[in-house]
Amino acid sequence: MKNSLIWAVALGAVACSQENTTDLTQLQGERDSLVALTQTAATRIQEIDAQLASLDSTRELTSITVLEVRPETFIHSFEALGKVEADRSVNLLPEMGGQIKRVLVSEGERVAAGQTLIELDNSVMRSSLDEVKKSLSLATTLFEKQERLWKQGIGSEVQYLQAKTNKESLEQRIQTVQNQLAMSRVKAPFAGTVDEMNAKEGEFAAPGMVLGRLISSGKASVTADIPESYSNVVGKGQKVDLFFPSINKSLEARVTQVSDYINPDNRSYKVYVNLPASTEYKPNMLAKVKVRDYEADQALSVPAALVQQDMEGNNYVFVWKLVKDGIGLVEKRTVEVGKNNGEQVEIKSGLTLGETLVDKGARTVRDGQSVKVMTVSAK
């Protein structure tokens, strides 16, 4: 009797459990169906509102412009400041001291290799050279006479050797004075342009004083400091975009050399970009260097201004869907973004090719709003 009672209670509990499980499943299914119906109804209501708006001529709708999502090459870059440097640059230094007699060139003037640029006063050396030349002429005559006598066996060997030594000494002296005369002229070591001229006639120049600077007229390059954090990004041959603000000129080029040295003061290293031969690029001219560190072909990207962010930090855009006669519905669409180059934002997910975005008016519309398209914006 007791066992029968236990079995009866157990069977009743199982039956009750099965009934509760069945009720829960039914309720969940019913809820899911109602949610689906609600969503379908909301969407249909929005479509009907849009159709009513297109038929109601008295109703004013917000006007927008739209933009079609198309694939394109997306480029991300960072900017560094650089300057133009001449292929060769040298300070103009006198090898000896003296008063500056003549400055033969001016700043910006092109000069040939070996051309005299500055002359120091060498009048004393010229007078000395003239005197030595006269002495040499006399010494040469005496030497030739002693040489003839010596060959004839008449003169003494001592007289012959003295005349020879005197002549050779004067010849050496002339060479020394001529070298000193050459040192009184500052010449161009190579063909180029006088970038700076500090010499002034009448002033005294000391040996090693910087009187000017000469730069080569040939190749020039842009040198830029790149942060150490990009050491694995920027390499030889990489594309860069150069912009010269002073002449308002842009140029696409490639990195030609990368330094292996990290400057401990600013944690940067130098890159060099060769420039085409041109007189436009002046030494020390400022250059903005945009280094391309990321590039994706056939990427979906949208103008940065169209990507907004909600309170939870989710990125979103407004998608426009046509209903009838240029009137459509606005849909708030959450998107996953990639790189941002300041103008365009790469879209990783959330949009598909060919969809249409709200462009002008994106900051004023709301999800589900009926709007009228005025024009299609060019991307």
Note the pLDDT of residue 379: 59
Same domain, 265 and 355: no
CATH number reported for the structural domain that contains residue 71 in this entry: 2.40.420.20
Q: Are residues 284 and 308 in the same domain?
A: no
The pLDDT value recorded for residue 46 is: 59
Query: Looking at the structure, do residues 305 and 355 belong to the same domain, yes or no?
Result: yes
Q: How far apart are CA 343 and CA 377, in angstroms?
A: 15
The whole-angstrom distance between residue 91's C-alpha and the CA centroid of its chain comes to 28
Residue 280 lies in a domain: yes
- The residue among 295, 330, 357 that closes a domain is 295
CATH of the domain at 232: 2.40.30.170
| 8 Å CB contact between 100 and 93 | no
- Check whether residue 248 and residue 137 sit in a common domain: no
Query: What does each of the 379 residues of the chain score in pLDDT, given as a tens digit?
Result: 444 434 344 444 434 444 555 677 777 777 777 767 776 765 666 566 555 555 554 357 888 899 999 999 998 888 999 999 888 888 998 988 888 899 999 988 888 989 999 998 887 777 777 888 888 888 888 888 888 887 777 777 788 888 888 888 888 888 887 878 888 888 999 888 888 899 999 999 898 899 998 888 767 899 999 999 888 888 888 889 999 999 999 999 999 999 989 999 999 999 999 998 777 888 889 999 998 888 899 999 999 999 999 999 999 999 999 888 888 999 999 999 999 988 999 999 999 999 999 999 999 999 999 998 887 665 5
- pLDDT value at residue 2: 40
Domain membership of residue 191 (yes or no) is yes
Any idea what DSSP says for residue 263? B
Domain boundary among 295, 316, 342: 295
Q: Is residue 35 part of a domain?
A: no
Decide if 138 is inside a domain: yes
The pLDDT assigned to 49 comes to: 59
> What pLDDT score does 41 carry?
65
Q: Which helix (H) or strand (E) holds 8?
A: helix 2-55
Answer whether residue 24 is part of any domain: no
Does some domain include residue 154? yes
Would residue 329 count as lying in a domain? yes
Same domain, 226 and 84: yes
Same domain, 230 and 281: yes
Domain-located, residue 156: yes
Q: Domain end: 238, 262, 295, which one?
A: 295
Looking at residue 198, which CATH number applies to its domain? 2.40.50.100
- State whether 83 and 137 are in the same domain: no
Cα–Cα distance measured from residue 371 to residue 44, given in angstroms and rounded to the nearest whole number? 16
Instruction: Give residue 233's pLDDT.
Output: 82
Helices 123-152, 157-183: inter-axial angle, 10-degree rounding: 160
Q: Are residues 263 and 359 in the same domain?
A: no
Residues 310 and 358 in one domain: yes
Count up the domains in the chain and report the number.
3
pTM value is 0.51
Closest CA to 96 of 180, 189, 188, 197: 180
CA 247/CA 18 separation, integer angstroms: 85
Domain span holding position 117:
94-214
pLDDT at 324: 82
Tell me: do 155 and 141 sit in the same domain: yes
Do 280 and 346 fall into the same domain? no
Q: State whether 209 and 230 are in the same domain.
A: no
For residue 371, with 0-12 CB atoms within 10 Å meaning exposed, 13-18 middle and 19 or more buried, which class applies? buried
